[in-house]
Each structure stands twice: as C-alpha cells, then as structure tokens.
Amino acid sequence: MSKSTHTVPLTVFSLMTILMTMASFNTYSFQKDLTSTPIIEPSLQVLAARIAPGEFLPFSVRLINFGIARRVDVIVYYKIFNGNNKEVYTQNETLAVETTASFIRNIQLPKDMLPGAYKIVAEIVYANQVIAAISEFQFQVEKKIFGVFQSDFLRYAVFMLIISVASAGGTHIFSMYSKKYFPKIMQVFSQISSLDVSEKNKRHPP
C-alpha cells in the first residue's frame, strides 16, 4: 500500500516532465524554422484614390523579408475586386527579394470598367511559405467629362448656373428699376440744377 502511494506522484511528475520537454522542443523547432525560412510581407498603397476607366492606376509596393536574409524568388499577384468582392482583373510578375524591395507599378484599367468602389490586392507566393502574405488598398473609379471627374464637373456646372441666374436676375432687376426710377432721378437732378442757377443769379445779377 505504501509502495503504491509513492509510485502515483512519481508517475504524474514524469508525465508532466515529458509533456514540458515536448512543448519546449516543438517551440524550439518552430522558432528554428522561422529563422531559417524567409518570411516576406507585402505593403501596398494606391497613389491615386480616384481614377477614370481606361486610365493607369499607380500604386507602390514594398516587400520586406523578416526571415533569413537570402535571395528569394517571389510571385506577386495583383488583383482588383469590385464592390461585390468579385475579381475583375488580375496579373502577376516574378521578383527577387533579399531584404527589402520597393517599386511603383501602373495598371491600365479597362475602358468599360463600371464606376464604383474597388480594391486592389497584392498577394505574394514563394517556396517554403509558412504565412499568407496579402496587402490591399481601396480606390474609386469615376467617369470624366471634358477631362474633369463627373462629380466635380457637376459641382462646377451647378455653381456656374447659380452665378448665371444671379447675374441675369441682378441685370433684370437693375434694368426694371432703372426704367421706373431713372426719369424721376433725372428730374430731381434737373430741379437741383435749376435751383443752383437761380441762386447764383440772385447773388450775382447780370
């Protein structure tokens, strides 16, 4: 009975020791894998938040290697999604990254692209990849009228219409009041002039 009492705690202690050793080994293996494997993260930024169909969308991309510093060939996928999260455009290129890589790209949008909110996604794929690497950025597609974005053109048109109406109304009001009051004003000036002449004649008779 006494032998059994001392054996159980020893067995539990041994089991805990084994589990802790395995956990330490797994952690060490995972850290070793991370330090010996390239971990590349993309950072994407659109340089024009609003663009018209058919124009070039400029954006900058920065790739950073947080893992081992060695040359890695990566495939960069550029994808554009509409407001319904439907892919409407895709292209890719292969780049060599050692520590960091920064560059600017331009994608020409289709001329028949519908206006609305979109997002561009940069996704990279490389050998022995352990972490998904995706970066995205929002932008707006809007048509142009005479080289001006449609919303801006409408604002300018409304502003000019208000100015024109105000100018035409002011001219009409001035013309109306001029016709009505100008003869009376001239009559008053004429009377004032006559009084001045009479006053002068009284002071300096001929």
List pLDDT tens digits, range 140-181.
999 998 888 888 877 876 767 788 777 776 665 666 666 665
List, for residues 96-114, the tens digit of each pLDDT value: 998 889 999 999 999 999 9
CATH class held by domain 40-142: mainly beta
Q: Is the pLDDT of residue 33 over 70?
A: no
Burial grade of 120 (CB within 10 A; 0-12, 13-18, 19 or more): buried
From CA 136, how far away is CA 22, in angstroms rounded? 39
pLDDT at residue 172 in the model: 57
Label residue 34 by pLDDT band (50, 70, 90). Answer: very low
SS3 34: helix
Confidence band for 197, pLDDT divided at 50, 70 and 90: very low
Q: How many whole angstroms separate alpha carbon 56 and alpha carbon 117? A: 16
C-alpha distance from residue 35 to each of 30, 67, 98, 129, 154 (Å): 9, 6, 14, 13, 57
> 76-98: per-residue pLDDT in tens?
999 999 999 999 999 999 999 98
Domain locations along the chain: 1-36, 40-142, 146-206
Global pTM reads: 0.60
Model confidence at 36: pLDDT above 80: no
CA 74 to chain centre: 26
Confidence of residue 7 (pLDDT cuts 50, 70, 90): very low
3-state helix, strand and coil shares in percent for the chain, rounded to the nearest 5:
45, 35, 20
